[in-house]
Amino acid sequence: MIYLSDRYKNFNKKNRPKKILDIMKKKQIKRILRIAFILVSIGSLYFVPWILVRAWIVPLPDTVQEQLDEAIGYGFDGMIVYVDKAGKPPEFYAAGWHDRKAKIPAYPQAIFKIASITKLYIAVATTKLVKAGRLSLDKTLAEYFPELAERIENADKITLRMMAQHRSGIPNFVDHPDYWTKPPESKQETLEYALDLPADFEPGEDYGYSNTNYMLIEDLIDKTLGYPRHQYIREEILTPLGLKNTFGSLSEVNIDDVMSGYYVGIDTDFKYENIGLMLATAEDVGIFLRALNDGSVFNEGEQEIYSSIYAYEHTGLIVGYQSIAKYHKDMDMVVIQFNNTTNFNGYDWNLAEIIYNRIVNIQRRKQSK
């Protein structure tokens, strides 16, 4: 008699039922995939930006000052924060270095390069000139700059409105491959990095943030006025708001009052580079931002125009300088944050945003008590 077990012992692989082989193969594949998944998961931990995770999950400190002191521990050289809550005195905070080499501590009244926050002021100036009938949002780039008609694709279709809204499709000069390796030394050289290139998209069909838009608008304002735009900004925006610590260029300030700017791994102070963008104290930016959001910066009929073309908050990023300027409607609060350390290949920007959000949460927790 042949027992069942003896019969299976005599089976070889060739005689095993196909179904059994398929089951074994599937189990083997699942086992391999499971092991591979575990290995990939373990390996991916190497790429996790732990500094961001740590900054995000650590318990929220009791005060803004404690948060800034903690932020310096993450590698920022210096930070400034201004908080304006309606009906309460403004709050000023600083940590780290104003000037690392000279060992001058950071202080809240320092002048800072506000980078693209400048666009808010340019958008307001544009609004005022449109309301005064000196500019038209529907006039084309080709009409305003005939000399660029053949060098910017769709110049005959791109309107001032589209440029102000970043819906023109004009390439961003900072995206040119030579911009960082061969930095332009003049405004014309900067513009050249955006000329004679294909459009990013058809005018009005998409959104694409482009510094070129606002560089052209700045030139248009100068051309329209017949004098420097910052004189107009001072007369129509800054002076009515009582802002005496906002400037159009580095040449207007005492260089010692400007917070130093650093790039990770480079032993250079970038505050000496005149990039043509505005400078201001955190308090001045905060007062302007509140006036922008409550409408007091506008004359009759201007706010409707502004709302159709631009935003009510902004951030700024250039070599050595990062800035965040936002109004928080739920708390009727303005928070401005400056920090003077950048690293375009690292996590400094993300880290600055985490710190900013934690500062807002500290204020929100304080208000809820």
172 secondary structure, DSSP code: P
Beta-bridge mates of residue 323: 316, 338
DSSP string of 239-259? HHHT--SEESSGGGS-GGGBP
Pair 292, 102: CB distance under 8 Å:
no
11 lies in the same domain as 158: no
Pair 147, 356: CB distance under 8 Å: no
DSSP annotation of 111: B
Tokens of 215: 């560089």
What would the two tokens of residue 140 be?
Answer: 């084309």
Q: Evaluate whether 288 touches 244 at the Cβ level (below 8 Å).
A: no
Query: Looking at the structure, do residues 245 and 308 belong to the same domain, yes or no?
Result: yes
Write the pLDDT tens digit of every residue in 213-234: 999 999 999 999 999 999 999 9
> Are 138 and 238 found together in one domain?
yes
Give the integer Cα–Cα distance in Å for 238 and 230.
Answer: 10
CB 139 within 8 A of CB 160: yes
39 and 73: one domain? Answer: no
Length of the chain: 369
- Phi/psi of residue 250, nearest 5 degrees: -65, -30
36 lies in the same domain as 148: no
Say if residues 232 and 220 touch (Cβ distance below 8 Å): no
3-class DSSP state of 366: helix
In a shared domain, residues 298 and 170: yes
Give the residue among 162, 158, 188, 159 at the shortest CA–CA distance from 173: 188
The Cα–Cα gap between 108 and 110 comes to: 6
What six digits make up the tokens of 147?
């000399």
d(CA 332, CA 290): 9
For residue 57, the model assigns a pLDDT of: 83
250: Cα separation from own chain's centroid: 21
Q: Are 94 and 106 in contact (CB under 8 A)?
A: yes
Total count of domains within the chain: 2
**Both 118 and 249 in a single domain?**
yes
Q: Are residues 13 and 86 both part of a single domain? A: no
Q: Which residue has the tokens 């780039």?
A: 141
Judgement on whether residues 222 and 145 belong to the same structural domain of the protein = yes
Q: Are residues 190 and 260 in the same domain?
A: yes
The domain in which residue 25 lies consists of 4-46
Residue 156: give its domain's CATH number.
3.40.710.10
* pLDDT per residue of the chain (369 residues) written in tens, 0 to 9: 333 444 444 445 455 555 555 666 666 766 666 665 555 544 544 455 777 888 778 899 999 999 999 999 999 999 999 999 999 999 999 999 999 999 999 999 999 999 999 999 999 999 999 999 999 999 999 999 999 999 999 999 999 999 999 999 999 999 998 888 888 888 899 999 999 999 999 999 999 999 999 999 999 999 999 999 999 999 999 999 999 999 999 999 999 999 999 999 999 999 998 888 899 999 999 999 999 999 999 999 999 999 999 999 999 999 999 999 999 999 999 999 999 999 988 889 999 999 999 999 999 998 887
pTM reported for the whole predicted model? 0.86
